[in-house]
Amino acid sequence: MGEDSLPLPRTKAVSRLSQVGTLTMSLFCTMAFGERFASQARYLVADLGDFGARIVVLTDHPERFRRFGNAVVCPHYPEKFSYHLKRIAVRETLMLDPSATFIDADGVLRHGVPRKLMQRALFHRFSPGFHGSKIRTIEEAGSYVYPKKEALGRSWGIAFDRDAITYQEMLFNLTREEGREESFLDIWDRFALAADAAGENGSGEGTCIGIAAHGSGLTLHGTNHMDSSLLSKFFWHCALDYRWRPYHQTRQRLLSAFGLVKNADLEKSALYRDGMAS
């Protein structure tokens, strides 16, 4: 049986995401360039589809996602890869809905989470501004410190707290806030252009994101806000190949039938290397 003949995920009909008061339900997005990441992103798309959650996919392999009813496919063919391409996925998403939640292509949904709890997290409503999944102080950041990026931001007149700019870039949310999100993306564009001119691949984008968030005037929501959505607890950063998904799903059903499914320890994150759950 070929990969494209695998069973489609059960995808519920999803109405256009709505805004209620100052809280906005978010549309997921990711980027998937190259065959390996396209395969991993298909796993993510299928997992979200089981809960009726939509996701925008920026990719150079659009044909790999057209079978998924919950995927909004945005073909993109960059001359070279850059981590800063994430900003294009976010911008495309904000053209469709006022709130964008970016998740890396190699994330999947964690097993052992009650379905109702997962459903609530995936349709969490975010307040306007920027929501980071983890912010490290300079001391905690270790090798993830990019003084050249910091100097570049300062040369543009951006003031920021060094202990509040090292964002974990694999999961974050940007919700429209009176146009400040456009300023955020414009600053990120400048970092992307500078990286391209220097022949870099965009590494250190987490710091660039943090500086752009400070420079844009967005409301900056701390880690506790993202953790309260439970998304940082429910996404598992594990890079699974989509072709193995039917096996994984069958295994989980069998374990469930025999009462052997281990409940996820929600005190631990499945997203970050430190303190990662199994």
pLDDT of residue 224: 84
- pLDDT, tens digit, for every residue of 99-126? 999 999 999 999 889 999 999 999 999 9
pLDDT at 16: 35
3-state secondary structure of 268: coil
In a domain, 263, yes or no: no
At residue 104, the pLDDT reads 96
The token pair at 107 is 């994330």
Q: Specify if 1 maps to a domain.
A: no
Distances (CA, A) of 228 to 110, 232, 253: 17, 9, 29
Low-confidence ranges of the chain (pLDDT < 70): 1-25, 270, 272-278
CATH number of the domain where residue 197 is located: 3.90.550
Rounded to two decimals, the pTM is: 0.87
Q: What is the pLDDT of residue 12?
A: 33
The C-alpha atoms of residue 202 and residue 181 are separated, in whole angstroms, by 20
Which structural domain, as residue segments, surrounds residue 173?
7-257
| Residue 244: per-residue pLDDT | 81
63 part of a folded domain:
yes
Structural domains in the chain (count): 1
